[in-house]
Amino acid sequence: MDGYSFELITGPMSCGKTEELLRRIKRCIIAKKKVTVISPEVDTRENGDYIKSRNGLWLDAIKVKHSIQILSLVKDSEVVAIDELQFFDSNIVRVITELMKQGKKVIGTGLELDFKAEPFGHMPELMCIATNVDKLHAVCMKCGCEHATRTQRLIDGKPADKSSPLIMIGGDETYEARCIKCYELPDAEHDKKIQSDLGISKILQFTKR
């Protein structure tokens, strides 16, 4: 075994993270390495026990609920590939550190920012312990530039409000990649506060006269 590594592939939705992961896994398979592919059970994008990139490539994956389970699943593997790292619990940082101590090659993907453009799950710590980080960009779905770094959440085709619930009941919810200029995050509560503050200052102005 030629030493440990943790390659992390990150970026917004539709930047080709899973496609890149599959490309790297295929190289390991060609090199006759023993590879195990893990994905979190919460990922509802696919129902079967496999990961699939948007261009149709797919590979068998073991669905895991708690990150600690990974350790017993990959005992004989030389390469451990983990998709959608942003969905794992806090133990994932310790688990990947342990896999590196065992001399394994870990390749992972994860969304770095959530729809509010805040760090997603334990991605910040994972980016710190990674031996290599690749940040991929997507094509902005609004202006077409190639620097989309944000994941825009849309509810019934409109930008989702900052306080919109993480799990939507009814309503057509979609996500798309956008650049920093086209990314929108309406904040109705904040706007209401500003409006009421303005209202108060108007009343104060009026009473001063």
84 is catalytic: yes
d(CA 12, CA 19): 13
**Do residues 154 and 176 touch, judged by C-beta distance below 8 A?**
yes
How far from chain centre, in Å, is Cα 194? 32
The structure tokens listed for 84 are 């959608």
Parallel, antiparallel or unpaired: strands 35-40 and 62-64: parallel
**Site for Zn ion (CB under 5 A): which residue of 74, 138, 140, 177?**
140
Report the residue number, 70 or 182, with the smaller CB distance to Zn ion: 182
Report the residue number, 132 or 174, with the smaller CB distance to Zn ion: 174
Residue 15 binding Zn ion, by CB under 5 A: no
**Backbone region of residue 186 per phi and psi (left: phi > 0; alpha: psi in -120 to 50; beta: other values):** beta
> What is the enclosing helix (H) or strand (E) of 35?
strand 35-40
Report the residue number, 145 or 155, with the smaller CB distance to Zn ion: 145
**Site for Zn ion (CB under 5 A): which residue of 29, 73, 143, 188?**
143
| Annotated active-site residue in 7, 20, 78, 84 | 84
Residue 8 binding Zn ion, by CB under 5 A: no
Q: How many residues contact Zn ion, by CB under 5 A?
A: 5
Nearest to 93 by CA among 134, 136, 122, 121: 122
The structure tokens listed for 180 are 């920093």
The maximal CA–CA distance of the chain, rounded, in angstroms, is 84
Question: Could you tell me the smallest distance in angstroms from the CB atom of residue 3 to Zn ion?
Answer: 40
Report the residue number, 92 or 182, with the smaller CB distance to Zn ion: 182
Question: Could you tell me the smallest distance in angstroms from the CB atom of residue 38 to Zn ion?
Answer: 33
Residue 142 binding Zn ion, by CB under 5 A: yes
Stretch that binds Zn ion, among 25-33, 89-97, 98-106, 174-182 (CB under 5 A): 174-182
175-194 positions binding Zn ion, by CB under 5 A: 179, 182
**Do residues 129 and 6 touch, judged by C-beta distance below 8 A?**
yes
Report the residue number, 38 or 179, with the smaller CB distance to Zn ion: 179
d(CA 205, CA 10): 51
Residue 51 binding Zn ion, by CB under 5 A: no
3-state SS assignment for residue 157: coil
Give the residue numbers marked as catalytic: 84
Q: Which residues here bind Zn ion, judged by CB under 5 A?
A: 140, 142-143, 179, 182
